[in-house]
Structure 1
C-alpha cells in the first residue's frame, strides 16, 4: 500500500486545502473551464524580517509565472507550464512520466498580519521562483520607570 499525496489535501497552510469546503466562495479557481494543477512544490519560511516563498517551477520561464496579492492578504503564485513538444508524434513512446507538463498551475497562501504587501519582491533563478514578503517592524514597547512616592 502506498500513500500518494494528491494536490494539497495534507497542506492546511495552503488555501487550496480549503477550496472544496469554502461555502462563501472566497477561494476561486483560476478558470472554470480548465483544471488548475496544484502540484507545484512551495516552501514557506519565516525569518525575523520577512516571509520567503520558494516555488519549484522547472521548465517555466519568468514570463509564464505570475505573482499577485489578492484581497489584501492572499499571495497567489500561478502560471502555465508548457506542454511536451513530442506529445503528438507517433514514433515517441513515453516509458516513465513523473514530472507534470502542460497546464495551468496555481497556489494560494493567506498571509499573516504584519506583511508589507506594498514591498513584495519576486525573482526567478534556475527554475526556482522566490517571493519575499517583508514584515512590518515590531515596535518594542517603550518602558518608562515611574517613581513610587510615599
Structure 2
C-alpha cells in the first residue's frame, strides 16, 4: 500500500475501461470487510460470468444494474447492527460500508438478458453473448 495517492484514483492503469468507486466513509472505523470485494470475470463460449465475493451481505443489500446500455454496475451497503446500550464492546471490525464496482461490457453482451444469483456470499452475474456472425463466404470458380 502506497502512502502517496495515485494520480489514477482507484482505477487500474492496466484496466482503463473499468473503475472502482468507493463511497466516502465518515471514519476509518466504518471500513467493512467487503470493502475490497474481489471480482472474477471469465468468458465462456455462451456468456460472460462475473463473480464477486460479498461475505456477510444479503441479496437485499446488493444491487446489479446495467447503466447507459453497456456499463455493468455492482453496488452494496452493509449497515451497523443494532446494539444494546448495556453491551460493552471489546472490538468492532465488522462495521458498515458501501462499495461500487463498474465494468464496461463488450459489444457481444446481451444486456437485456442479464441474470444474477447469490449463494453463500458469492454473487454470480451471467451476461449471455450474442451469436457470432459468420462471414458469408461465396466460392468463386476459377476459369482457365
For residue 94 of structure 1, what is the aligned residue in structure 2?
Answer: 91
For residue 72 of structure 2, what is the aligned residue in structure 1?
Answer: 75
> What is the alpha-carbon distance in structure 1 between the residues aligned to residue 105 and residue 70 of structure 2?
5
Give unmatched runs, 5+ long, in structure 2: 26-30
How many aligned positions are there? 129
TM superposition shift of 1:85: 4.8
**Out of 95, 98, 105, which is 1:111 matched to?**
105
Q: Could you list the per-position Cα deviations for residues 97-117 of structure 1 after superposition, in whole angstroms to 9, with x for gaps in the alignment?
A: 4xx531221111111111100
Q: TM-score, normalised by structure 1?
A: 0.71
> What is the alpha-carbon distance in structure 2 between the residues aligned to residue 75 and residue 88 of structure 1?
41
Q: TM-score, normalised by structure 2?
A: 0.74
Partner of 1:15: helix, strand, or coil?
strand
TM superposition shift of 1:127: 0.7
The alignment status of 1:63 with 2:60, answered yes or no, reads yes
Q: Could you list the per-position Cα deviations for residues 21-80 of structure 1 after superposition, in whole angstroms to 9, with x for gaps in the alignment?
A: xxxxxxxx8xxxx62785221111111211111111111111111100001110000121
CA RMSD of aligned residues (A): 3.0
For residue 35 of structure 1, what is the aligned residue in structure 2?
Answer: 24
Give unmatched runs, 5+ long, in structure 1: 20-28
For residue 128 of structure 2, what is the aligned residue in structure 1?
Answer: 134
> What is the alpha-carbon distance in structure 2 between the residues aligned to residue 88 and residue 41 of structure 1?
35
